Amino acid sequence: MAVAHDPAPAGDELLREGFLALGTPEGVRAELIEGEISVTTPPDGNHQHTVDLVVMQVYRRSATDMQCSGNKGLVLPRGGLCPKNYAIPDATFAPRDLRLFRGAEPWMPADGVAMVAEVTSAKPDGDRFAKRHCYARAGIPLYLLIDREKGTVTLFEEPEEADYAESHSASFGKPMPLPEPFGFALDTSEFA
């Protein structure tokens, strides 16, 4: 009598399963973006200082009461070689009345996310390109990229398929207007 076996998982499924089974030490981030597993160590103090400046301003100045999750795992639609992407933005914002993060699994869909923010560090091109495309495919309305190497802040808006239709950049020290539901100009004078 023949025994039925489940078919072997395809290459991208093996990659996903291997990624999800990673046992990374506390404080270490692992992401799966466009078929590449990226493991990063905790960021330096200037990186965290910049993230904190953004979060404080959003809490204090937004037109809509917002909640933020730092290092929240997002499952994003297929792109490139991988059936799904698993990204961890430096900051993920959503209207507080959605209670989006309450009871959420470690990896959650991006539905309801108003904006993600990234501060460049060890792999800046990943933030500049691959993650930007993943966030656009997920339909996240706003992507704020704080590029420490270039000394610029860029706001990407209007996601269309694999990219954003609009972007606006400012040098550190210049205000960056954030549209509704935020509705204020982000002060970048202390960004590092």
Domains of the chain: 43-186 (3.90.1570.10)
What is residue 96's DSSP assignment?
G
Residue type, 174: K
> Within 13 Å, how many C-alpha atoms sit on residue 99's CB side?
2
The reported pLDDT for the residue numbered 28 is 63
pLDDT tens digits for 27-47? 666 656 666 767 677 778 899
H or E element: which one contains 76?
Answer: strand 73-76
Residue position matching structure tokens 């999750």: 69
Q: What average pLDDT does this structure show over 15-34?
A: 63
In 139-192, alpha helices (H): none
